[in-house]
């Protein structure tokens, strides 16, 4: 009988992927369900990951000329009602505020809503409408264009079935809303931001994806065109990682966003919107984590290197801690995020905690390392197979190279997984046959076949959706699969 491998999370991915996902979050101490239905509390370690994403991408947006702003969380119902396609797309997800105070009931036993509002407010599901109304006041001339705005915040979409990070009623995101004089500039904006997302995902999240255009059925409500990045999780399902929308003049005509052109005439602006959200944290888990727990991409990890002092004898404590502090100082001077785990815990428990949190590189320092000026380091993605002892100076010289190698290997593993699970098919019969075999991945077929009755029936039978028309295929192919 084979020896059972100890795991940090139960069950494994193969045994129960959805439950495994929840247990990875719990084991890494990233978030928990909140008392508010469908919402979560993001704990410090999980929020530090999101803050790193915000910090990096926010800098890129500012380099592009985008200015941060903040709009109200409450949007007048009348604003949302003006844009027919938009409201139809979000109507079933809107949380509505109808009262402005609480009062005790007749017997004083409870508080009840009072002070009914003349007009209800919607807690923002997205901000096109309220930002469009502001742009109609802020834009007067071609000299005011382009106008590039972004806000980092939270939104609410009333979800019936929720899962932490992936689909919660309240979630965090950034949303950009830009206005341009013409279609060419606006379309260029949507593709520029799409490429920024792709670069960010690849270079910081080790997260491969497929850039594409959404089919009309999957397009953002009110958009002329929706560009996206679709990624594949370890269970073969798709995750929409980011979207960038060309809104045409739909919102500018609804909210009267006009400008005086150079010929002293009036034109409506062309607008765009784009976003990625905290569901990317969920995407990182489902793409990179293993049966031992989380696996953080090094360039985004809250802690890149965890130093574990191995304390067995009180007489050695001072020299071990001195060597640990010296190691931490050298690494911090190189710009790395480093922690020393000096908690009063057993060393194996500290090691296991670092594994569950997915810390990319673990450094162990005991009495021998302190005496010899060495250290022992272990890569999270390779485990004890990578265990290496070397001098502090040698380690300091190539630690960045180790972290870069971890990033590259994580990206390539995920990309190889995705590429191996995209199957080209010719017709509806092949689509049905593929997913009857419980295919864990995507099908790719000619986009012209998407509207065929047989294809539609096969998609409905297997709960499939069109994910995107990959830009690499010049819109001639469509990816089909199951999705979150």
Q: Give the model confidence (pLDDT) of 149-196 as tens digits.
A: 999 999 999 988 899 999 999 999 999 999 999 999 999 999 999 999
CB–CB of 179/151 below 8 Å? no
Closest CA to 331 of 360, 351, 353, 357: 360
| Residue among 180, 185, 186, 155 at smallest CA distance from 168 | 155
Give the model confidence (pLDDT) of 187-237 as tens digits: 999 999 999 999 999 999 999 999 999 999 999 999 999 999 999 999 999
The confidence score (pLDDT) of residue 159 equals 87
Whether the pLDDT of residue 16 is over 70: the answer is: yes
As a whole-number percent, the residues of the chain with pLDDT over 70 amount to: 99
The structural domains of the chain, with segments of one domain joined by +, span: 27-288, 305-418, 422-481
Domain 422-481 matching CATH 3.30.110: the answer reads yes
Which range is least confidently modeled, 3-7, 89-93, 105-109, 147-151?
Answer: 3-7
Angle at 360 between CA 355 and CA 366, to 5 degrees: 70
Exposure string for 139-174, b = 16+ CB within 10 A, e = fewer: beeeeebbbbbbbbeebbbbbeebbbbbbbbbbbbb
Strand segments (E) across 63-204 = 67-68, 74-76, 96-104, 111-123, 147-156, 170-180
Confidence of residue 313 (pLDDT cuts 50, 70, 90): confident
How far is residue 342's CA from residue 339's CA, in Å, rounded to a whole number? 9
What's residue 89's pLDDT? 81
Decide: 149 and 62 in contact? Cβ < 8 Å: no
Span 94-113, pLDDT tens digits: 999 999 999 999 999 999 99
* Statement: residue 7 has pLDDT above 80: no
Place of tokens 């929840």: 22
Q: Cα(446)–Cα(428) distance, rounded to whole angstroms?
A: 11
194 Cβ neighbours under 8 A, 6+ residues apart: 211, 227, 228, 229, 242, 244, 274
The pLDDT value given to residue 8: 75
- Mean pLDDT, rounded, of the chain: 96
pLDDT for the residue numbered 183 = 98
Class of domain 305-418: alpha beta
Q: Is residue 85 over pLDDT 90?
A: no
Question: What's the angle, vertex CA 422, arms to CA 469 and CA 165, rounded to 5?
Answer: 75
For the chain, percent of residues with pLDDT exceeding 90: 94
Is 27-288 a CATH 3.30.930.10 domain? Answer: yes
Query: Which pLDDT value is given to residue 5?
Result: 46
pLDDT of 2 > 70? The answer is: no
pLDDT in tens, 366-412: 999 999 999 999 999 999 999 999 999 999 999 999 999 999 999 99
Query: What pLDDT, on the 0 to 100 scale, is given for residue 6?
Result: 54
Q: Which of 410, 22, 391 is nearest to 31 (CA)?
A: 22
Alpha helices in 213-346 (DSSP H): 250-254, 279-288, 317-333
Is the pLDDT reported for residue 239 higher than 90?
yes
User: Residue 230, Cα to own-chain centre: how many angstroms?
Assistant: 12
């Amino acid at each position: 009988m084979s020896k059972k491998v100890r795991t940090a999370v139960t069950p494994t991915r193969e045994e129960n992927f959805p439950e495994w996902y929840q247990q990875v979050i719990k084991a890494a101490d990233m978030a928990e369900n909140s008392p508010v239905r469908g919402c979560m509390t993001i704990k410090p370690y999980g929020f530090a990951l999101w803050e790193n994403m915000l910090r990096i991408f926010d800098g890129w947006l500012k380099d592009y000329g985008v200015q941060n702003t903040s709009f109200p969380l409450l949007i007048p119902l009348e604003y949302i009602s003006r844009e027919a396609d938009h409201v139809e797309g979000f109507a079933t997800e809107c949380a509505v505020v109808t009262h402005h105070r609480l009062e005790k009931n007749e017997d004083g036993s409870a508080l009840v809503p009072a002070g009914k509002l003349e007009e209800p407010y919607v807690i923002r599901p997205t901000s096109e409408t309220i930002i469009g109304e502001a742009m109609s006041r802020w834009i007067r001339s071609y000299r005011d264009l382009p106008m590039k705005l972004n806000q980092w915040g939270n939104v609410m979409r009333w979800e019936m079935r929720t899962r932490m990070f992936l689909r919660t009623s309240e979630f965090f995101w950034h949303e950009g809303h830009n206005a341009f004089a013409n279609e060419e500039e606006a379309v260029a904006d949507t593709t520029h931001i799409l490429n920024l997302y792709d670069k960010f995902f690849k270079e910081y999240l080790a997260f491969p994806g497929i850039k594409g255009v959404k089919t009309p059925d999957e397009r953002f409500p009110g958009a002329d065109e929706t560009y996206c990045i679709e990624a594949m999780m370890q269970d073969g399902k798709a995750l929409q990682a980011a979207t960038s929308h060309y809104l045409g003049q739909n919102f500018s005509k609804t909210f009267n966003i006009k400008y005086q052109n150079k010929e002293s005439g009036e034109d409506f602006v062309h607008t765009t919107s784009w976003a990625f959200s905290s569901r990317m944290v969920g995407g990182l888990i489902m793409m990179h984590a293993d049966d031992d727990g989380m696996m953080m991409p090094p360039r985004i990890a809250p802690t890149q290197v965890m130093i574990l002092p191995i304390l067995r004898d009180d007489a050695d404590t001072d020299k071990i801690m001195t060597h640990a502090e010296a190691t931490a100082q050298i690494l911090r001077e190189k710009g790395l995020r480093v922690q020393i785990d000096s908690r009063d815990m057993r060393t194996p428990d500290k090691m296991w905690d670092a594994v569950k949190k997915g810390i990319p590189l673990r450094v162990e320092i005991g009495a021998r390392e302190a005496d010899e000026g060495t250290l022992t380091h272990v890569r999270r993605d390779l485990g004890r197979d990578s265990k290496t002892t070397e001098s502090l100076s040698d380690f300091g010289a190539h630690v960045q190279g180790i972290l870069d190698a971890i990033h590259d290997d994580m990206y390539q593993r995920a990309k190889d997984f995705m590429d191996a699970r995209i199957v080209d098919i010719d017709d509806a019969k092949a689509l049905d046959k593929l997913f009857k075999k419980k295919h864990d991945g995507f099908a790719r077929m000619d986009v012209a076949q998407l509207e065929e009755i047989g294809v539609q029936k096969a998609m409905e039978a297997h709960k499939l959706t069109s994910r995107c028309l990959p830009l690499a295929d010049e819109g001639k192919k469509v990816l089909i699969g199951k999705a979150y």
